[in-house]
């Protein structure tokens, strides 16, 4: 890299790199309120870059094209929030019924866990003691309004950081690519690094488009099956499942938990578990067959790298980290020249075979 000097000793060089990586992750963790929406904005900009390029090919100025894409993105988020609002208020209204349903289920299985005194005490404290005098102390599962009001400025600031990062990245991303390429490499490497940025942008956009199609199909199937069994709000649940499925592992767990609560509200007996069981079956089909078949054609990533990236980013930033984990991993792998332009792992040429040493000539006397 131009302007940077690394130690000549390979061990010292590796130590410097490890220390730098640890320090970077530490800063990202400590300043997550700032960096999380910024990185999410950058990843979203990479995903939406093809739309901006399409608008610019239609002779729309770059600033206006970026503003249109930003408005479309915010509108999509607003639509999801509007669809989720009735579901959230319904859950809040039904919280007392959910609590008593949970108490009834625990009572049915009390004979099974009778010997586990510690578990019984914890369950009794969590569900029994609060249920008897919950109205009197004014404390319940509903968040404190004061805490909600204090949290609102932070959420608004993160939304503004995300929107500003997304807009200015879409507006100036080509200049950013050129500047990074010039700063990182010499004149000979600039074109190669710019091509890697373009490849990363195309692969991430293609990955997100493929995942979006898969998640939309998952949400549609879930909504149709929930209509069959008669669960209220099947369209909302389909949208929720499609949106949360972008967060690997954690998102499906959240959907299963929500569907269990919905089953407690709407059904009785074994039908309580029917909505969650339906989604679990659909998710298994999607994750084991559909996604590998469709995503594997474009991007081939080691599952261990995916899992490690997901764990690290979830630890740092929670759900936002789960969203950016895979795109960031793909971008890093492309910039390290792991992938070719089609998303396949590059095949390194085998090392050259050593040339055979000629046999010594016999000396004649």
pLDDT in tens, 204-243: 888 888 899 999 999 999 999 999 999 888 888 898 899 8
Q: For 261-274, what is the mean pLDDT?
A: 86
Q: Is residue 363 part of a domain?
A: no
Of 185-199, 277-291, 343-357, least confident by mean pLDDT is 343-357
| pLDDT for position 185 | 65
> pLDDT (tens digit, 9 = 90+) per residue, 68-92?
988 888 887 777 777 766 766 766 6
Task: Give the mean pLDDT of the chain.
Answer: 77
Contact 197, 181 (CB under 8 A): yes
Q: Which three-class secondary structure state does DSSP give residue 339?
A: strand
DSSP class of residue 126 equals I
Q: For 183-194, what is the mean pLDDT?
A: 75
d(CA 80, CA 86): 11
Q: Which domain holds residue 95?
A: 10-132+154-335
Contact 159, 37 (CB under 8 A): yes
DSSP class of residue 270 equals G
Check pLDDT > 60 for residue 65: yes
Contact 206, 298 (CB under 8 A): yes
| pLDDT for position 193 | 82
Helix (H) or strand (E) holding 319: helix 319-335
d(CA 78, CA 60): 25
> pLDDT (tens digit, 9 = 90+) per residue, 338-365?
655 555 555 555 555 555 555 555 555 4
| pLDDT for position 230 | 92
Cα dist from 2 to 83, 185, 190, 192, 193, whole Å: 51, 6, 11, 15, 13
d(CA 222, CA 238): 6
Q: Is residue 143 part of a domain?
A: no
Structural tokens at position 117: 């005194």
d(CA 284, CA 28): 33
State percent of the chain over pLDDT 70: 68
> What Rg do the C-alpha atoms of the chain give, in angstroms?
27
Q: Where residue 125 falls among pLDDT bands split at 50, 70, 90?
A: low
| pLDDT for position 90 | 65
| pLDDT for position 140 | 46
Q: Is residue 217 part of a domain?
A: yes
- Comparing 34 with 84, the larger pLDDT belongs to 34
> pLDDT (tens digit, 9 = 90+) per residue, 130-150?
444 444 444 444 455 555 555
| pLDDT for position 359 | 54
Q: Where residue 203 falls among pLDDT bands split at 50, 70, 90?
A: confident
Q: Count the domains in the chain.
A: 1
| pLDDT for position 167 | 92
Contact 314, 323 (CB under 8 A): no
d(CA 255, CA 240): 7
Q: For 28-46, what is the mean pLDDT?
A: 90
| pLDDT for position 94 | 63
Dihedral over Cα of 232, 279, 81, 263: its sign: positive
- Comparing 106 with 180, the larger pLDDT belongs to 180
Q: For 26-34, what is the mean pLDDT?
A: 89
Q: Is residue 149 part of a domain?
A: no
Q: Which three-class secondary structure state does DSSP give residue 345?
A: strand
Q: Is residue 349 part of a domain?
A: no
Q: Is residue 340 part of a domain?
A: no
Of 98-102, 117-121, 154-158, least confident by mean pLDDT is 117-121
Q: For 39-65, what is the mean pLDDT?
A: 89
């Amino acid at each position: 890299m131009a302007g940077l000097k690394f130690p000549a000793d390979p061990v010292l060089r590796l130590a410097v790199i490890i220390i730098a990586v640890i320090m970077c992750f530490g800063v990202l963790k400590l300043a997550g309120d700032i960096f999380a929406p910024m990185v999410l904005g950058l990843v979203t900009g990479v995903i939406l870059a093809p739309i901006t390029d399409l608008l610019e090919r239609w002779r729309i100025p770059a600033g206006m094209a970026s503003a249109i894409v930003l408005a479309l993105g915010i509108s999509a988020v607003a639509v999801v929030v509007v669809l989720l609002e009735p579901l959230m208020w319904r859950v809040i209204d039904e919280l007392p019924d959910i609590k008593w349903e949970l108490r009834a289920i625990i009572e049915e299985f009390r004979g099974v866990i009778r010997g586990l005194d510690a578990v019984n005490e914890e369950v009794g404290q969590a569900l029994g003691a609060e249920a008897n005098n919950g109205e009197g102390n004014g404390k319940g599962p509903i968040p404190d309004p004061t805490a909600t009001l204090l949290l609102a400025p932070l959420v608004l600031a993160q939304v503004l950081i995300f929107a500003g990062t997304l807009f200015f990245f879409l507006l100036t991303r080509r200049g950013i690519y050129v500047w990074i390429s010039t700063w990182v490499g010499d004149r000979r490497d600039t074109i190669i690094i710019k091509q890697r940025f373009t490849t990363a942008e195309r692969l991430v956009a293609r990955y997100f488009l493929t995942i979006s199609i898969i998640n939309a199909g998952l949400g549609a199937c879930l909504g149709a099956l929930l209509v069959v069994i008669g669960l209220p709000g099947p369209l909302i649940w389909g949208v929720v499942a499609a949106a949360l499925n972008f967060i690997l592992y954690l998102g499906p767990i959240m959907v299963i938990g929500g569907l269990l609560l919905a089953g407690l509200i709407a059904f009785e007996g074994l039908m309580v578990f029917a909505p969650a069981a339906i989604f679990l079956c659909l998710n298994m089909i999607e994750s084991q067959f559909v996604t590998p078949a469709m995503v594997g054609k474009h991007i081939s990533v080691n599952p261990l790298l995916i899992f490690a990236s997901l764990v690290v980013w979830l630890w740092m930033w929670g759900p936002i980290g789960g969203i950016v984990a895979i795109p960031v991993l793909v971008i890093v792998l492309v910039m390290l020249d792991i992938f070719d332009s089609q998303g396949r792992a590059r095949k390194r040429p085998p090392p050259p075979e050593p040339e055979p040493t000629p046999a010594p000539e016999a000396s004649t006397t």
